[in-house]
Amino acid sequence: MAEKVVKTDDEWKNILSREEYLVTRKKGTEPPFTGKYYRFKDKGIYQCVACGNDLFSSETKFDSGSGWPSFWSPISEESVEEREDRSYGMTRTEVVCARCDSHLGHVFEDGPP
C-alpha cells in the first residue's frame, strides 16, 4: 500500500468538489439513485476520488437496490478499512479508504456472498 495521504481540511476543500468533500470528509451521503456510478457498467477499477487508491473491481459490483454503487469485496484487504460507526442511534460498519480515510459507505449483509 502506498503511503498515507494526509491533508488539512482546507487542502481537501481545494481539491474536491463540494459534494465529494461532504461525502468523503464529512461522512455525508449523496441522494440515492443520483450518483454517476450508480448505473455505471464499464469494466475496470473504482478508485478513491480523494487520493486515487484502488478500491473495488467492477467484477464485484452488484445491484443492491439501494441506489448506490455496491460491491461485495474490496480489490484487496489493504485498500479499505472498516470502523465502527455509532451515529444516528445505530451501530454500523463504516468503510473508509485505507490510504486517506475518506468515507466510502457502510457494510450491509444483504448482498452476494
Domains in the chain, number: 1
| pLDDT at res. 38 | 85
Q: Domain residues for 39?
A: 9-106
Note whether residue 1 is domain-resident: no
Note whether residue 33 is domain-resident: yes
Structure-derived torsion over alpha carbons of residues 72, 93, 26, 31, reported in degrees to the nearest 10: 50
**pLDDT tens sequence for the chain (113 residues):** 668 999 999 999 999 999 999 999 999 999 999 988 988 999 999 999 999 999 999 999 999 999 999 999 999 999 999 999 999 899 999 999 999 999 999 998 877 76
| pLDDT at res. 112 | 74
Q: Distance of CA 70 to CAs 7, 79, 111, Å?
A: 27, 16, 8
| pLDDT at res. 42 | 94
Predicted TM-score (pTM) of the model is 0.91
β-bridge partners, 83 = 94
53 Cβ contact list (under 8 Å, min separation 6):
2, 47, 79, 97, 98, 99, 100
Residue 26: Cβ-neighbour burial (10 angstroms; 0-12, 13-18, 19+): exposed
Q: What CATH number is attached to the domain comprising 61?
A: 2.170.150.20
